[in-house]
Structure 1
Amino acid sequence: MKMYPDFQAISKTIEIGGLTKLQLTRKLQQQSISLNEYAERLFSNDKFTTSKTKYNLKTVELTIRNLGFPEGATMPQIFNRAEELGLDLCPLEVGPHLRLAYLNQPEGSTGNLPRGQAPSGSITIASEIISEDDDFPKGFYLRKINGVLWLRGYIAEDLHVWKTEDHFIFCQRKGY
């Protein structure tokens, strides 16, 4: 059964859970992973919880074009299409766990970006949004820049159009 439009998906199985937010933060520090202010805000929010139990999740990485949007798409469009394809939003804690599991991320571009655009080489985790406030981070993305691994939070409104080459990670729904 073909699940997605024609493209090369990158699937990974990662282990999440079993760590408190403090333990997760310490592991990130031990790996010299940097956080931006938005990532710190996500970590400090009471709605960002971690599972006490370890479990495995299968993730699928794809571009906006892979989702069938040749002109780009908004977050609601992206999330709706993913759901149609049997993909789920990830628990918020997938971001830090995935960052710890993906230490060999290729270097991203250091060029200046227009405000509100995903950096080249970054991977956005499609996750549950814990606040509808436009000034509160919507989730995490992974980036490596100048040799430094980052777990960064991002802000985006529903009307923002993501570029066709932007990368997202979703969780594969069980049974697919």
Structure 2
Amino acid sequence: MRIPHKKIYPECPFISRTVEVGGLSKGELIEKLKQSSIMMNEYGKRLFASDRFTTSETKYSLETVELTVGNLGFHEGATTNQIYKRASELGLDLCPVELGPHLRLAYHDQPEGEVGNPLQKQQAPSGSITIASEILTEEDDFPKGFYLRRINGVLWLRGYRADHLHVWNADDHFIFSKK
């Protein structure tokens, strides 16, 4: 579902979800992803392998908000820092990195990206949803976080890289947590 971005959060349409997070180790999460036939790219695997990515032993509920960069008021796009700063001003928080695999396990009916919208290099893929999370390191070659995608009916949990100069498009979707 595409979310129009003419109005600014919270006066715009957005998708709210409550997700159970925590209670599983990284190994248990990987096993559950495999059991659910969820694929990961190399960047996603690198995130999991890193000591910087931790999981909570305790289960908790997280209320999330999915909206577009345009719904944050950036109709011409914005950098990650601009997006995160505006979201905070609007009462939204970054998500824990571990939300990515938990949300992927819970969200099976993600639509495919738009047909006829070819993948552009250095752009978020059509239909993808980026998890707004703390950047674990500023190293250029280390993944910055997870995004969800459905490709030819297959669910993916993918890691991505984007430097501080990368400009996200107004139609790119992000997930934040409510404060």
TM-score (normalised: structure 1) = 0.94
Letter in 2 for 1:96: P
Deviations 1:56-107 (A, max 9, x none): 0000000000000110000000000011011111000000000001011111
Contact 1:109 1:145 survives alignment (8 Å): no
Partner Cα distance (1:147, 1:36) in 2: 16
CA displacement at 1:123 relative to structure 2: 0.2
Equivalent of 2:143 in 121, 127, 137: 137
Report the Cα distance in structure 1 between the residues aligned to 2:144 and 2:112, rounded to whole angstroms: 24
**Count of matched residue positions in the alignment of Structure 1 and Structure 2:** 171
Q: Distance in 2 between matches of 1:97 and 1:140?
A: 11
Q: Percent identity?
A: 67
Q: Hey, what does 1:19 align to over in structure 2?
A: 24
User: Is 2:94 aligned against 1:85?
Assistant: no
Between the aligned partners of 1:131 and 1:109, the Cα distance in structure 2 is 32
CA contact (8 A) 1:107 1:146 kept: yes
Question: Which string of whole-angstrom CA distances, capped at 9 and with x for unpartnered residues, describes residues 94-142 of structure 1?
Answer: 0000000101111124653221100000000000111100111000000
Q: Calculate the TM-score normalised by the size of structure 2.
A: 0.93
Aligned twin of 2:77: 72
Structure 1: gaps spanning 5 or more residues? none
SS in 2 for 1:98: helix
Matched, 1:38 2:43: yes
What residue number does 2:123 align with? 117
Q: Is the 8 A contact 1:109 1:119 kept in 2?
A: no
Residue matched to 2:54: 49
Q: Give the alignment partner of residue 158 of structure 1, picking from 137, 158, 164.
A: 164
Structure 1 residue ranges (4+ consecutive) displaced by more than 6 angstroms after TM superposition: none
